Structure 1
Amino acid sequence: MTARLSILLAQINQSMGDLTANADAMLAVRARAGTADLILFPELQLIGYPPEDLVLKPALIARAHDEVQRLAAATADGGPAMLVGTVIQLDDGLFNAMALLDGGVVAAMIRKHELPNYGTFDEKRLFVSGPLPEPIHFRGVRIGVPICEDIWFPKVCEHLKATGAEILLSPNGSPYELDKDDRRLALVRARVAETGLPLAYLNRVGGQDELVFDGSSFVVNADGAVALQMPDWDAAEVLTVWEKGADGWACLPGDHHALDVAPADLYNAMLVGLRDYVNRNRFPGVVLGLSGGIDSALSAAVAVDALGADRVWCVMMPSRFTGDESLSDAAECARLLGVRLDTIAIEPATLAFDTMLGDAFAGRHRDLTEENIQSRVRGLTLMALSNKFGHMVLTTGNKSEMSVGYATIYGDMAGGYSVLKDAYKTTVFALSEWRNANRPSLALGPDGPVMPVNVITKPPTAELRPDQKDSDSLPPYDVLDPILHGLVEEELAVADLVARGFDRDTVIRIERMLYIAEYKRRQAPPGVKLGTRNFGRDRRYPITNGFRSV
Structure 2
Amino acid sequence: MFEYIRIAVAVPNVSVANVTYNVNEIIKKATEADKENADIVLFPELAITGYTAGDLFFQKTLMEENTNGLKEIIKASKNLKSVIAVGLPIEVKGRLYNAAAIIYGGKIYGVVPKTFIPNYNEFYERRWFSSGTELDVGELTAEYLNISDIQEESVPVGNDLVFDTGYFRFGAEVCEDIWAPIPQSCRLTLNGAEVMLNLSASNQYLLKRSYRREMVSQQSGAQICAYAYASSGSEESTTDLIFSGHGLICADGKLIAENKKFIDTDYVLYGDVDLGKIRTDRLKIKTYGQSADLYGSADDVYEVCIPYKERENDLKYAKIEKLPFVPENEEELESRSNEIFEMQVEGLERRLEVVSAKPVIGVSGGLDSTLALLVATEAVKRLNKPASEVVGITMPCFGTTSRTHDNSVRLMKALGVTYIEIPIKEAVLQHFRDIGQDENKFDLTYENSQARERTQVLMDYAGKIGGLVVGTGDLSELALGWCTYNADHMSMYGVNSGVPKTAVKNVVKVIAKTHFPAAKDVIADVLDTPVSPELLPPSDNGKIAQQTENLVGPYELHDFYIYYTLRFGFTPEKIYALANKAFDGEY
Q: Normalization by structure 2: what TM-score?
A: 0.41
The structure whose Rg is larger is 2
Which is richer in helix? 2
